[in-house]
Amino acid sequence: MKLRILFYFMFISVLSSCSSLSEETPSISITSDKSTLEVGETITFTVVDSEDVNITSQSVILIDGNSISGSTFVPLQAKTYEATSSYESLVSNKIDFTATLPSSFSKKAVVEDFTGTWCGYCPRLSYAASLVEEQTDKVFVVGVHLDYGDPMENDFGIALKTEFSISGFPTAYIDRANKWQGNQPNNIEQALNAAEGTINVGLAIESSLTGSVLDFKVYQGFLENMTDVKLVVYVLEDGILANQVNYTSYYGGVGSSGVSTIVNFEHNGVLRYAATDVMGDPTTSTAGVHEKSYSVDLSSYDVLVPENTGVLAMLVDDSGKVLYNAQYVIAGQNQDFD
């Protein structure tokens, strides 16, 4: 009888130990917010422990065996990837996700407006640009300020003036190849039509802003091999207030009957910095996605409010005067291929 009781308590003890071991064995698991995505898009991972506590920030996430920084990843190849995570001595499950190239990219357009605060006829083009921006988010307007002590003039604008042989103001080029013709407020279709349809090259941008330091990556996507492609990258600033001479009837001006000044006119899309040559730097243009990284301290380039800046990237031909496609993102934000 005593022996039977002893065996009973030993059996209970073993069961209890096994149960305790099962309950106390730690584990972690990884999940992602999507299983398929396009190249250049962002996938986000989450890691939790066996009690469903989020430990993502303390974990190391590995893609195809290589650790990444943080919990997000931007695939640059069209293929299936494997993701795992580790925390202390623990290793998670494995999950797969697949990245594909988009079938096409939407065509964007760029207006480079050569202007000046002293230029009384320039508000006509500013007004036309505002009409375009009311109708589409696929036309990006750059204000290139020049001459006569304009406070927003810089070496980048002066270089563009030389390249485009600018002799009169206002002058605007659409996609670098065509002047914006006629009375621009009555010809906004020229700009709108430049941002129609799809094309086989596109761009995506990741950016972060820390104080006045702007870090960003430009992803260039090609659906086929191309040659002699260049990349142009600008930093633009919005919301700059400066008096603007106005000879036009726009913005409450008196037109031909006299000269007026718009006090604290809001200048947007002002060219502050070019991370490349203004006519572009050569870039890899084989089929697939190619990445370029940049960092700039905006305080060195007369930027007033870093939070009001954005990055404009353009893919152009070898001459720099034919634009294939463009993309824009507000500083500190990301813009996927589209």
CATH of the domain at 26: 2.60.40.10
Asked if residue 83 and residue 124 are part of one domain, the reply reads: no
pLDDT band at 10 (very low <50, low <70, confident <90, very high): low
Asked if residue 134 and residue 89 are part of one domain, the reply reads: no
d(CA 235, CA 200): 25
Q: Which of 71, 100, 129 is the last residue of a domain?
A: 100
Asked if residue 137 and residue 29 are part of one domain, the reply reads: no
User: What percent of the chain is modeled with pLDDT above 70?
Assistant: 92
When pLDDT is averaged across residues 94-115 and rounded to a whole number, the result is 95
State which residues form the domain around 138: 105-335
Do 147 and 153 form a contact (C-beta atoms < 8 A)? yes
Query: What's the whole-model pTM score?
Result: 0.81
Asked if residue 278 and residue 331 are part of one domain, the reply reads: yes
- Total domains present in the chain: 2
Asked if residue 317 and residue 230 are part of one domain, the reply reads: yes
Asked if residue 157 and residue 65 are part of one domain, the reply reads: no
Per-residue confidence (pLDDT) for residue 15, from 0 to 100 = 47
- Range with the poorest average pLDDT among 47-51, 100-104, 275-279: 100-104
Q: Which of 100, 115, 138 is the last residue of a domain?
A: 100
Average pLDDT, the chain: 92
Q: What is the pLDDT of residues 13-35, one digit of tens each?
A: 544 554 444 455 789 999 999 99
Q: Which of 75, 100, 125 is the last residue of a domain?
A: 100
Asked if residue 293 and residue 179 are part of one domain, the reply reads: yes
Helix and strand numbers (H, E) in the chain are: 4, 26
Asked if residue 178 and residue 279 are part of one domain, the reply reads: yes
Asked if residue 200 and residue 76 are part of one domain, the reply reads: no
Which residues fall within 8 angstroms of residue 140, CB to CB, at 6 or more apart? 108, 109, 110, 111, 269, 312, 326, 328
Asked if residue 299 and residue 194 are part of one domain, the reply reads: yes
Question: What would the two tokens of residue 70 be?
Answer: 């943080």
Asked if residue 204 and residue 86 are part of one domain, the reply reads: no
Residue located via tokens 């330091």: 213
When pLDDT is averaged across residues 47-51 and rounded to a whole number, the result is 95
What b/e readout covers 85-107, taking b as 16+ CB neighbours within 10 angstroms?
A: bbbeebebeebebebebbeebbb
d(CA 295, CA 95): 33
Asked if residue 90 and residue 144 are part of one domain, the reply reads: no
